Amino acid sequence: MAYANKYKITMASISGSITELYLLEDDYAGSIIEYPATTIQLQYIPRSDDIFEPIYTSQLNIGIDVTDDIENMPNLTTLNDRKYLCELYYDEILEWTGWALSDSVQFSFTTGRKELSFNAIDGLGILEKIKYPLAEDYVLSDFNDCMFFLINSLNAIAFPTNLNVITGISYYADGMDDRADVSWADPLKQSYLNFALFITNDYEVDNCLSVITKIVKGFGARLFQAQGKWQILAVSQFAQETYWFTEYDNDGLVVDSGTTSFNGLIDGFVDNTTGLFFVDNSQMKLLRKGYNKVQFDKNIEYPSNYITNGDLKQIVSTTHAYAWTEDVNGALIFVAPYPSRLSNDYYIDITNVVAPYNASIRPTYFPNIAFNEVVKISFNSNLVAVGATVPDAFFILRIQLQTPAGFYSIDNNKEWEFGGSSYYFEPYDVDTTLTELSLTLPPAPESGTIYFEYVLAKAASSYWK
């Protein structure tokens, strides 16, 4: 889409500055139509009453005098929520960008001057209805930096030219570069998250606003639009006289860095040279009790689902599951699809395979876990023994943790064994079939990568999911 200026709405402020609002329309090729403004008001609205609210949406309230040219006034009777792009300039400097709303429009039918009133929004609210854009071949255990997730989410607002992002956060963990190393050293670019954090166990993807909120709130910051850019500033830092900033373009590349400030001097109107003053020449001071102790109570949640395509619903090569690896030697193994169920099954048949009678499946991508983290492995497995051969076990489960020190394995006592090659197995019972297993591992002895593999041995067939 190629947006071009269609309307120019002008208003002079009491400070002598000129405010200009342009309405751009897709594929417009005519001359600019001008109207005088009766009101242009930019509001910042927190999404909750939390004093540390991380997301401030902004709304532009616009009133224009259309008396002398009713025929050409903006046509807001449309279902296209991106028909008009609004760009607000203050003394020819871009201050704000948003989309005009068509669901709150007023037109006065009077014998005097006729006014058209409507609103425009910055698009942050739209993100609550847009799922975070994931690639089709995403892997839950893959990770990327916080700025990657933020920019992908903000770009979903779909401005013709996505806005740059300015961050003003200077909280660092051990091992990170800080501003003393390089001026653009931003913790958001040095902090990493798994894709799994934004996906539920039902494989529902978070919306873009939820993704932004989680990250911004995690850094004690606030996101809003100002100076024609997205600002992500630490609540406890951006009121300082100066603060460090890093500016990114919409591809996540650093374009500027250094120090800046939002501070301005509010003075009386007489002899004022700052452009900031109280419009009625009066002011009120609010006195509130201070906070002598700040205490945060927050549950830190981790994704519980680490397995890519854990429901086996993504099938490739006709009957094989994406992101799963099969080890077979002539065995029959395929995915049994069930469109009406929450998950598919893996069917493994080794009844006609010569010794040593085994086949296995395992995820292709394995996650990292932290020291002392507890992992729970759960699945369903139904085994059918064939002939006189009695299996030793319903299945064999190989679970290993690879660490810098070496391998740990889970033995049949559900304990970590260092340097071994132990297996966990469920003993076979001829009178029953195992239908569900939920295995909670002991706390990880070290940080590392966890592996597991489902192995079927001796002549049998199994449904597994």
- DSSP secondary structure letters along 312-356: ---EETTTEETTEEEE-SS-EEEEE--TTSSS-EEEEE-TTPPTT
* DSSP assignments along 17-66, one per residue: -EEEEEEEEET--SPPEEEEEEEEEEEEEESSS-TT-SBEEEEEEEEEE-
* pLDDT band with cut points at 50, 70 and 90 for residue 300: low
Percentages (nearest 5) of helix, strand, coil residues in the chain: 5, 40, 55
Same domain as 174, residue 95: no
146 & 103 share domain: no
pTM score above 0.85: no
Q: How confident is the model at residue 413 (pLDDT cuts 50, 70, 90)?
A: confident
Q: In terms of domains, do 460 and 343 share one?
A: yes
Between CA 262 and CA 423 the distance in angstroms is: 61
Residue 357 has pLDDT above 90, yes or no: no
Range 334-361 average pLDDT: 77
Picking from 53, 88, 122, the residue at the C-terminal end of a domain is: 122
Query: Which residue range is the domain that position 387 belongs to?
Result: 315-464
State whether 256 and 142 are in the same domain.
yes
Q: Which of 74, 101, 122 is the last residue of a domain?
A: 122
User: What's the whole-number average pLDDT of the chain?
Assistant: 84
Tell me what pLDDT residue 267 has.
72
Instruction: Tell me how many domains the chain contains.
Output: 3
Asked if residue 139 and residue 115 are part of one domain, the reply reads: no
Q: Are residues 36 and 72 both part of a single domain?
A: yes
Instruction: Kindly state whether residue 98 falls inside one of the protein's structural domains.
Output: yes
Residues 321 and 453 in one domain: yes
201 Cβ neighbours under 8 A, 6+ residues apart: 304, 305
When pLDDT is cut at 50, 70 and 90, the band that residue 292 belongs to is low
Task: Enter the tokens of residue 84.
Answer: 């008009």
- The token pair that represents 280 in the structure block: 């009625």
Is the pLDDT score of 136 beyond 90? Answer: no
**340 and 425 belong to one structural domain:** yes
pLDDT of residue 347: 83
CA 341 to CA 230: how far, in whole Å?
43
> H/E element holding 455?
strand 448-457
Are residues 321 and 377 both part of a single domain?
yes
Give the residue, 123 or 383, on which the prediction is more confident. Answer: 123
Mean pLDDT within 325-331: 77
CA 3 to CA 8: how far, in whole Å? 14
- 461 or 151: whose pLDDT is higher? 151
Q: Where are the beta strands (DSSP E) in 270-422?
A: 315-316, 320-321, 324-327, 332-336, 345-349, 358-363, 368-369, 376-379, 381-385, 393-403, 406-410, 416-418
Indicate the DSSP class of residue 129.
Answer: G
Q: Tens digit of pLDDT for each residue in 55-98?
A: 999 999 999 999 989 899 898 888 888 899 999 999 899 999 99
CA torsion 81→82→84→86, rounded to 10°?
A: 100
Q: In this structure, is residue 294 part of a structural domain? A: no
Identify whether residues 103 and 144 lie together within a single domain: no
Any domain includes 162: yes
pLDDT tens-digit profile of 33-51? 999 999 999 999 998 888 7
Residues 293, 316: Cα–Cα separation, whole Å: 57
Residue 307 counted as domain residue: no
Q: How many residues does the chain have?
A: 465
Residues 328 and 447 in one domain: yes
CATH of the domain at 384: 2.60.120
H or E element that contains 93: strand 93-100
Q: What per-residue confidence (pLDDT) applies to 392? A: 66
Q: What is the pLDDT of residue 465?
A: 53
63 with 91, same domain: the answer is: yes
